[in-house]
Every structure is written in C-alpha cells, then in structure tokens.
C-alpha cells in the first residue's frame, strides 16, 4: 500500500466514524461491527427510528446514499403534505427518511421481491408508520400483468433487465406488476402527489412510457435512478417522456451507465 492509499483509507474510515456518531444512537456497536467484519446491527437513528436489514441489503451503502448524502432530495423541493410514492422501496430507507421528517405525508411503497418486501413491512411496523403507509408486494412497469424477475446476491440487484443479471441470477420468479396509471389511481384519496421516486433496476423508462398523459399530470416531481447498463438509453427515454409532459429535467451528477434524474414542474421547486 502506498502512502497516498494509506492516507485515503484513514480519511475514509474517519469520515465513516464521524457519520456514524452523528446519525446513530448505537454508533459504537455499528462501528465495531464494521471494523471487525461482523454483521452490522440494526441502525438506530438519533431521529428516533430503527432500520432493520439483512446482510444482502448493504445497509451502510443505503445509509450513505439516502441519509448522509441526501441523494434522493438534493435537487427537488419535498412536499410537507399529500402523497409520496416509493417505487422500488427495497427495505424502506427512502420511505423512512420521508416519513420521519414530514409527519403529515402519506407514502405508498412498492417492492416486488418477497423477502425484501417482508423486511420493508417489518421496518414500517417497527417504527409505528402503518397508519400513514400502504405497501404493495408488486413490481411497477409499463403494463399491468405478471413479470419475471431475477435476483442476484444483493437485494438491490433484483431486476427484469440486463444480460449480466440473467447470467448471475441466483433466483428467478414471477410477480404481479402494475402500471404507473394504477399506482396513481390508488393515491386518489390521499391528496396531491408531490413526489414519485423510481428505482426499478432498468424498468424506469418502461414505467414512464406506459403511463397515460393524464397520469403524469397528477405528479409534481420525480426522482429517478436510471440504469442505462440494464436498459439501453433509459435516461434519454425518461427525459423524452418527461419533457413531453411538461417537466424540467436535470442530471447534476450524471454517469454513463447509472445515476439520478430529477424532474419537476414549474412552481414545484423553490
């Protein structure tokens, strides 16, 4: 190891420790587990909630992306009331982040993988969020019906797209799938739809292209993780649909294969 590599590793570890101290009540337990390579315990946030997880959920990566780095809320204005939709909710990190900061919003969340959905439900119930949350064990895509999914070794690898995912799949199964039109219809009684987050591992463009124009009019903002590596031209396809529906789009930290696309209507962002 060179001196530069050693220095960077020390800086990275120190930054992780500082983040854990700032965010977790049980930071000592989390830090010691991380340093020793042991299983990371549930994350008990100073904000007053707990995030349960399994080894395959890569919980510290989710913590950095969702909570510390605020990746899903940097370039939009989050609503203080009404409905937010979490498509590809995984174990619920984004849903918990929303619901523990905004006490008047409701969330409808979708996660198709059965075991990951069970962990999502456990996190919702453990934090007393059931009255404001509806969760669906369904995929969201360009149509309503059934779809095949392939699951890799990590919970975030579950996808219906990509040659690599097929080659390295550990499990293949079918799940019910609904279109975005159905998702938004289900929100009709819960107030305005201020934000839709989509992290569907390659399905993002299909979801938007399959939506009726009237459905897109009901949504004020999107945060979309695009996966050009799984579904070619996903970013360009998403931008084309959103621009045609009257959204402004931005990809502040765009990467060639994967990144975040933010979209909002005039007046929806401060």
**What's the pLDDT tens digit per position in 130-180?**
999 999 999 999 999 999 988 877 887 787 776 444 445 567 889 999 999
Which of 76-85, 206-215, 225-234, 248-257: highest mean pLDDT? Answer: 206-215
Tell me phi and psi for residue 43, to 5 degrees: -85, 115
Q: If you compute the radius of gyration of the chain from its CA atoms, what whole number of angstroms results?
A: 19
Structure tokens at 133: 């949350």
Which of 13-22, 121-130, 155-164: highest mean pLDDT? Answer: 121-130
Do 156 and 147 form a contact (C-beta atoms < 8 A)? Answer: no
Structure tokens at 16: 């992780």
260: Cα within 13 Å, side-chain hemisphere: 17
* Residue carrying the six token digits 């204005």: 77
Distance CA(107)–CA(173), nearest Å, equals 27
Q: Is the pLDDT of residue 17 over 50?
A: yes
**What's the pLDDT tens digit per position in 39-76?**
999 999 999 999 999 999 999 999 999 999 999 998 89
Domains of the chain by start residue, with CATH: 1-68 (no CATH), 72-264 (3.40.50.150)
pLDDT of residue 236: 95
Q: Is the pLDDT of residue 261 over 80?
A: yes
- For residue 115, the surrounding DSSP H or E stretch is helix 114-126
pLDDT of residue 52: 98
Structure tokens at 104: 């008047």
pLDDT (mean) for 241-251: 96
pLDDT of residue 74: 85
**What's the pLDDT tens digit per position in 197-233?**
999 988 999 999 999 999 999 999 999 999 988 888 9
């Amino acid at each position: 190891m060179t001196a530069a590599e050693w220095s960077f590793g020390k800086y990275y570890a120190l930054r992780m420790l500082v983040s854990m101290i700032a965010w977790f009540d049980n930071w000592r337990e989390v830090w010691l587990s991380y340093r020793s390579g042991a299983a990371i315990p549930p994350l008990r946030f100073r904000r007053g909630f707990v995030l349960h997880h399994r080894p395959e959920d890569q919980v510290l990566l989710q913590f950095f992306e969702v909570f510390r780095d605020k990746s899903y809320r940097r370039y939009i204005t989050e609503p203080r009331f009404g409905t937010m939709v979490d498509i590809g909710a995984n174990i619920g990190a984004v849903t918990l982040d929303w619901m523990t900061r905004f006490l008047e919003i409701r969330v409808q969340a979708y996660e198709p993988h059965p075991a990951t959905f069970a962990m999502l439900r456990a996190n919702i119930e453990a934090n007393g969020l059931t009255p404001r949350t509806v969760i669906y064990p369904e995929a969201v895509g360009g149509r309503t019906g059934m779809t095949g999914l392939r699951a890799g070794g990590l919970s975030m690898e579950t996808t219906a797209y990509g040659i690599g995912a097929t080659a390295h799949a550990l499990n293949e199964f079918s799940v019910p799938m609904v279109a975005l039109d159905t998702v938004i219809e289900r929100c009709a009684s819960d107030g305005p739809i201020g934000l839709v987050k989509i992290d569907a591992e390659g399905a993002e463009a299909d979801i938007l292209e399959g939506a009726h124009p009237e459905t897109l009019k009901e949504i004020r903002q999107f945060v979309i993780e695009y996966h050009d590596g799984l579904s070619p031209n996903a970013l360009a396809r998403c931008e084309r649909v959103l621009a045609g529906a009257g959204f402004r789009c931005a990809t502040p930290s765009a990467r060639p294969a994967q990144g975040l696309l933010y979209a909002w209507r005039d007046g929806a962002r401060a």
